[in-house]
Amino acid sequence: MPPPDVSMQPFAPQHAALPYQAYRLLLDRGPVHRLPVADGLTTWVVCGHETARRLLADPRLSIDPASTTCEMREKLQALATEEKQSLAGRHLLSTDPPDHTRMRKITSRALTARKINALRPKVEEIACELLDALAGRTTADLLTEYALPLTVRVLCDLLGLPPAGVDVFHQLGWLVVRGDAEDDESFKGVIASLAAYFAEVRDHPEVLRADGLMRLLLQAHADQEITDGELNSLLFQLFFAGHESTSYFIANAIAALRQHPDQWNLLCGNLSLIDAAVEEMLRYEGSVKSATWRFATEPVEADGALIGPGEPLLIVFAAANRDTGHVSDPDHLDITRPPSAHLSFGHGAHHCLGHALGRLEAATALTTLISRYPTLQVDRAYEQLPWRSNIVMRGMSALPVRLAPEPAR
């Protein structure tokens, strides 16, 4: 059955869970066009790969909600959790240079290649522990019992939080990835709980001794490199960005690979393909469907469209990564495909700062899982999986599987 035609429907949220093949049909209307998003809200949608890449690096497009009107900000605020996150304070997803450059430089000190590589043994240890806990089970939810706790524990280690932080982050992360914090009150509750926790641990001896990102940010605050508000907003952003997208991606990759048994079996038989498989899965079934909102600060011409000052844009990775002008046979999953320069981590000044960590977590999670359970099966038809509905994220609220370890020889 061909994918539903979304080209003449509102972009979100009612068809946010459609398979990625459907988003390629947005390209039929051209690389840039306007679509309704919700009642009273229409946005420019950028679908072509070349155009998306160019606009992601265009300084005339602002990521700061202050660049648009109060009315537009109110409309965006009414959307799902991911849109609320981008409006919750001043952090890397809501500021432009030079403030963005200043904050990114501070945060990047904890995300160097050396520090990420040093985390590899810890990530492997956590993945093994989580799968050990499933021993003897015949079923499991690999989103909330594997992908989420893996990314939460790695995040707590990266931040340098005391052990109790894992329980706090896991409880709040559960609410986020399952979609239980969509409404305003629930989202405010998550933010309030995070604020209370961060206030409690900012002077904790373990945090002050650890070589973690939280201590680094606290020192930057003490040195007046960031303000009170920026410190809190950066910590909030790190919570959301540090677990949500990678948790979803790990689950997405497992589900899509099991939907393509030839690719699953190919990877099972040759785990040296894992890095190429992660790149192909990022292109094919990435967890971030579109960039956070952009707003034109002056007239911008793009492929014949004239985007006016203050008008919003959605740069749709889900479509750009399937642009036939960029990649051949884009609806075919091929883990041996040469790197395609996908846009799943963005491009330009706002290119995802945690891309190396996300790749490491995904590769480790998949390798460890496949080694333990090469014959596992997703316990629901792909189209019946509980995909969440929102604009930015592509993720499900649960991934039920049947576990079947490799028979003893």
CA pair distance 60, 339, nearest whole angstrom = 29
Most confident of 31-40, 103-112, 249-258: 249-258
Look at the chain and count its residues. Answer: 409
Q: How far is CA 91 from CA 26, 44, 81, 226, in A?
A: 31, 24, 16, 10
State the DSSP code for 93: T
In a domain, 251, yes or no: yes
- Mean of the pLDDT values across residues 373-399? 88
Write down the pLDDT at residue 363.
Answer: 98
Write down the pLDDT at residue 262.
Answer: 97
Number of domains in the chain: 1
φ and ψ at residue 372, rounded to 5 degrees:
-85, -40
The answer on pLDDT for 81 being more than 50 is no
What one-character-per-residue DSSP string does 19-40 give? -HHHHHGGGGG-SEEEEEEETT
The answer on pLDDT for 8 being more than 90 is no
- Mean of the pLDDT values across residues 121-134? 97
How far is residue 89 CA from its own chain's centroid? 19
In a domain, 409, yes or no: no
In a domain, 335, yes or no: yes
Write down the pLDDT at residue 157.
Answer: 93
- Mean of the pLDDT values across residues 402-409? 69
- Mean of the pLDDT values across residues 383-394? 82
In a domain, 315, yes or no: yes
The answer on pLDDT for 301 being more than 80 is yes
Vertex 407, ends 405 and 409: CA angle to 5°?
140
Q: How many CB atoms lie within 10 A of CB 148?
A: 27
Q: What residue numbers bound the domain in which 333 lies?
A: 20-402
Write down the pLDDT at residue 82.
Answer: 47
CA pair distance 7, 11, nearest whole angstrom = 8
pTM above threshold 0.75: yes
- Mean of the pLDDT values across residues 76-87? 55
DSSP H helices in 260-335: 261-269, 274-285, 317-320
Predicted confidence (pLDDT) per residue in 18-56, tens digit: 566 667 777 878 899 988 877 778 889 999 999 999 999
The answer on pLDDT for 398 being more than 80 is yes
CB 326 within 8 A of CB 283: no
CB 152 within 8 A of CB 238: no
More confident: 80 or 45: 45
Confidence of residue 405 (pLDDT cuts 50, 70, 90): low
Percentage of the chain lying above the pLDDT 70 cut: 90
In a domain, 13, yes or no: no
State the DSSP code for 41: E
φ and ψ at residue 31, rounded to 5 degrees:
-70, -25
CATH number, position 252: 1.10.630.10
Write down the pLDDT at residue 383.
Answer: 78
In a domain, 291, yes or no: yes
Write down the pLDDT at residue 394.
Answer: 87
- Mean of the pLDDT values across residues 212-218? 92
CA pair distance 194, 61, nearest whole angstrom = 31
What one-character-per-residue DSSP string does 335-375 give? TTSPP----TT--GGGS-TTHHHHHHHHHHHHHHHHHH-TT
Q: Which helix (H) or strand (E) holds 314?
A: strand 312-315
CB 6 within 8 A of CB 26: yes
Predicted confidence (pLDDT) per residue in 263-279, tens digit: 999 999 999 999 999 99
The answer on pLDDT for 408 being more than 60 is no
In a domain, 24, yes or no: yes
Q: Pick the closest to residue 233 from 88, 57, 19 (CA basis).
A: 88
More confident: 335 or 67: 335
Please report, as a single letter, which amino acid is at residue 113.
A
CB 35 within 8 A of CB 43: yes
Write down the pLDDT at residue 399.
Answer: 96
CB 100 within 8 A of CB 349: yes
The answer on pLDDT for 91 being more than 70 is yes
- Mean of the pLDDT values across residues 156-174? 90
Mean pLDDT of the residues in the chain: 87
In a domain, 33, yes or no: yes
More confident: 119 or 41: 119
The answer on pLDDT for 88 being more than 90 is no
Write down the pLDDT at residue 4.
Answer: 42
The answer on pLDDT for 3 being more than 70 is no
Q: Pick the closest to residue 339 from 276, 289, 282 (CA basis).
A: 276
CA pair distance 90, 96, nearest whole angstrom = 10
Please report the sign of the dihedral spanned by the C-alpha atoms of residue 242, residue 245, residue 250, residue 251.
Answer: positive
